[in-house]
Amino acid sequence: MSYQVLARKWRPRTFQEVVGQDHVVRTLSNALNEQRLHHAFLFTGTRGVGKTTIARILAKALNCESGVTATPCGVCAACREIDEGRFVDLLEVDAASRTGVDDTRELLENVPYAPVRGRYKVYLIDEVHMFSRSSFNALLKTLEEPPPHVKFLLATTDPQRLPVTVLSRCLQFNLKSVPTGLIAKHLGTLLEREAIPHEIPAVRLLARAGMGSVRDALSLLDQAIAFGNGQVNLQEVNAMLGTLDQGRVLTLLEALAAGDAGDLIHAAAELEQTAPDYMAVLAELTTLLQHMALLQLVPDHTDEEWDDPERMRRLAAKISPEDVQLFYQIALLGRRDLPLVPEPGSGFEMILLRMLCFRPGEIEPVSVAPSRPRAASLNEAQATPKPDVQTPAPATIRSAAAQPRPAPRQTEDDSPVLIPAWDVLVDQLQLTGMAQQLALNCTLQRQEDQALHLLLAPAYAQTRTRNAEERLRTALQDHFGKPLRLHIRIGEAAEATPAERLDQQRTERRNTAWEAINNDPNVQALRDTFGAQVKPDSLSLDDE
């Protein structure tokens, strides 16, 4: 006897055996049990999700000799003939090969005649979107008002190409892609029935490769059984699919978590020996990072796709949530940029190095040369009466910025520096770019020895980059002549930041200028005589 592929041998024969389409099965079962039967059904969905299979089961339920039921007996002549594809009153048509209007008219010629054997004459038209416009027009009237003994079952992977006149005459069922877990469970059940040795991770990998299609997964399972000489194991399935062992990706993540560039490059070099598809590697990397992010927020979470759950949990505890999000974003951007690189292996290494280099972390202070001048000590500063610091006007800040930076004062000890007013200090530092924005949107919270604690406004969290923090800390060290540590956290401050104060002062100046213009006699005369208007956006201040 010739071999029958698994997709045909184990095709569902009843609604209960259909995988992952409970919403469709429930609706059809209720309609059959209550005898509320529409004359035209449209099944849509991607390939291999059960459109034709459900249509055949429905045809069997309509023509079972025990009566119209959601649970056909499967043993009567009508059920057996439908399962074997030789029931005379079930007409299966491939619309892709019969697109012409003449073919459609020939098909519909026998519609008025009663069925030969069954209760209903069933027309099952697969890939119905391939019909031409003339064919749809020929079908339309019959589809709207068929004889009571005729049922139309239409299936398509592209319902957008069907005329709305056809869609409106059908009861439409949208079949969804089957979840990987359900496909893996179904494959495992079939392998047990076939008594084929198998490994659970290999079955899950085949289910993932099916990408929501049960038929594709079963075809891959047939191939895996032949490739493994009657067995299904992970190593051979990986070799057959050209996929990557999940453990190798976890090794890369472990090197990233440890921050060891040597181990990271070594792991990438070992990976290169397998000639992988680096796009697939990045896809697997993003998938594992997404699972880790979920695991960090929901510690009890588990997933059947994990080959080594304990290793995943250890990594999720070792990598910070910030690093997980950073690695995920860099991997996504890497998938976009990888086709542009001259050599995929080197491009993949650069993506890994980005993950390693851009990790956020506390900046260690650098040593200061002995010959560098030192700022005044805290004792000297405290001995001098502290003036009442007022918020400087923008003009004052600009004039101070235009002057050369004063030379740091000499000191003989390493006492902490005193910061009298953060606004004034930021202006004296003469920063530019992202470092300036970081400083302007911070407030000084406290000072501990030679450490400054700043609070950054949440709206400007993106300015807190490694380079910006390093430039700000270096500028502070140059200004005071002391090694300083900088601690920045994000949060709402009780006092206004320098940027907010400058905005407030700029707004007050703009309002004052606006009032002066509106009250000017010449402007009023122009309004009265010519109907002139003053546009608010035409007002420009010197510092804008």
Q: What is the mean pLDDT of residues 484-507?
A: 87
pLDDT over threshold 80, residue 166: yes
**pLDDT score for 32:** 93
Distance CA 461, CA 192 (A): 55
Among residues 357, 363, 361, the alpha carbon closest in space to that of 483 is found at 363
For CATH 1.10.8.60, list the domain ranges present in the chain.
180-241
Rounded percentage of the chain residues whose pLDDT exceeds 90: 31
Find residue 90's DSSP bridge partners.
122
Q: Which of 155-164, 169-178, 381-390, 481-490 has the lowest mean pLDDT?
A: 381-390
Q: What is the mean pLDDT of residues 37-52?
A: 92
For CATH 3.30.300.150, list the domain ranges present in the chain.
392-401+415-496
pLDDT over threshold 60, residue 430: yes
Q: Quote the distance between the C-alpha of residue 170 and its chain's center.
A: 35
Q: What is the pLDDT of residues 190-245, one digit of tens each?
A: 999 999 999 988 898 899 889 899 999 999 999 999 999 889 988 888 888 877 77
For CATH 1.20.272.10, list the domain ranges present in the chain.
246-357
Distance CA 428, CA 394 (A): 13
Strands 442-448 and 451-456, by their bridges, are antiparallel
pLDDT over threshold 90, residue 26: yes
May I ask the CATH class of domain 246-357? mainly alpha
**121, 149 Cβ separation under 8 angstroms:** yes
pLDDT over threshold 60, residue 389: no
pLDDT over threshold 50, residue 375: no
CATH of 6-174, one of 3.40.50.300, 1.10.10.10, 1.25.10.10, 3.90.1560.10: 3.40.50.300
The CATH architecture one would assign to domain 392-401+415-496 is 2-Layer Sandwich (3.30)
**pLDDT score for 394:** 41
**Position with higher pLDDT, 326 vs 535:** 326
Confidence of residue 373 (pLDDT cuts 50, 70, 90): very low
For CATH 3.40.50.300, list the domain ranges present in the chain.
6-174
Amino acid at 411: T
Amino acid at 17: E
Distance CA 314, CA 508 (A): 56
Tell me the three state secondary structure of residue 188: helix
The 3-class SS string of 335-399 reads HHHHHHCCCHHHHHHHHHHHHHHCCCCCCCCCCCCCCCCCCCCHHHHHHCCCCCCCCCCHHHHHH
Distance CA 185, CA 121 (A): 36
The CATH topology of domain 180-241 is Helicase, Ruva Protein; domain 3 (1.10.8)
> Concatenated DSSP letters for 18-68?
--S-HHHHHHHHHHHHTT---SEEEEE-STTSSHHHHHHHHHHHHH-TT-S
Q: Which of 10-24, 396-410, 432-446, 495-509 has the lowest mean pLDDT?
A: 396-410
Q: What is the mean pLDDT of residues 484-489?
A: 88
DSSP state letter for 232: B
Residue 45 burial (CB count, 10 A): 23
